[in-house]
Structure 1
């Protein structure tokens, strides 16, 4: 198994990729991300991990482009979570959401051999189930008693109808 790729950031703000023994740019780091390469960026002066900072710089450059991913309102909402009691829960929620989205994107790409309508129907049903389960976990973590799991409540609802 390949070890984690190390990129060093020097005081002159240059990035050095130790795997290929050359200086690289933020665009090169972006390519590593796009290729799902595992890497770590360290400050050459003190070996501290600055990977998140470099990734945020890449996001900032992308957001400054003509087709940003985040609206000002969305960024404001995210900023409001910092320091709040739900910061950790929000981080886990956002990470789980992105993981789910990436998995569904991969499934959709792989399943286009089926009819598009069948694919969309199946993914929509799966998405509803996953989000319902995730919402249940979120509510339980917040201290709400939902009275059993989602399937039990759904069955009781169907029986009373």
Structure 2
């Protein structure tokens, strides 16, 4: 496995995918595996995967392959029910909103995690907790965290219900201004002359 550079490059790292399905890292001039690409993600390296012939952007496809491998492994993150629900949003009017919702919630989760990490540095004289200690800490905090997440989800659900009601009211008021035949309360079409 290639070792990613420790200094961040200002330019995006380019990886080419060849017809033989091999991935070529143009920065290190070596062939790499999906595991190497996963390591780039973990190291927060910016990269783009392009088809070597067509120059099509394959980055999302490669990232989805990594997720598939992780989900097929020992500890999946998503249940079958959740995956089914996500699939149902494709082609749905709410597809764009759902993508944004998931992205913003994951970012909020990352922000909370970073704040906890920064706070732990203050507790332990500037040293961050190692992953094993974090795991033990989170296991002890699991009931509290679960309660907080339940409250957060309930608040999000209530916000979506309110948003849906507002959208319905706006749609009703907008459509009531147009004189559609047979519609009650739409100007003169429902009135007798």
- Deviation, structure 1 residue 135: 3.1
- Deviation, structure 1 residue 108: 1.0
| Structure 2: runs of 5+ lacking an equivalent | 1-8, 124-136, 170-193
Take 1:85 and 1:99, find their aligned partners in 2: how far apart are those partners? 23
1:135 has 2:159 as partner: yes
Q: What is aligned with 2:40?
A: 32
- Deviation, structure 1 residue 143: 1.4
1:61 has 2:85 as partner: no
Q: Spell out, residue by residue over 1:112-139, the C-alpha distance to the aligned partner (whole angstroms, 9 max, x if none).
A: 245x89xx89xx5xx95xx66x937x81
SS at match of 1:109: helix
* 1:39-54 pair list within 5 angstroms: 39-54=47-62
* 1:10-159 pair list within 5 angstroms: 10-112=18-120, 113=122, 135=159, 139=163, 143=167
The TM-score normalised by the length of structure 2 is 0.62
Structure having greater relative contact order (Cα 8 Å, sep ≥ 6): 1
Larger radius of gyration between Structure 1 and Structure 2: 2
The TM-score normalised by the length of structure 1 is 0.74
Q: Spell out, residue by residue over 1:10-60, the C-alpha distance to the aligned partner (whole angstroms, 9 max, x if none).
A: 000000000111100000000000011000000001000010000000000
Aligned residues: 136
- Deviation, structure 1 residue 144: 6.1
Question: Segments of 4+ in structure 1 off by > 3 A?
Answer: none
Q: What is the CA RMSD across the aligned residues, in angstroms? A: 2.9
Structure-2 change in CA distance of 1:75 and 1:36 (3 Å): same
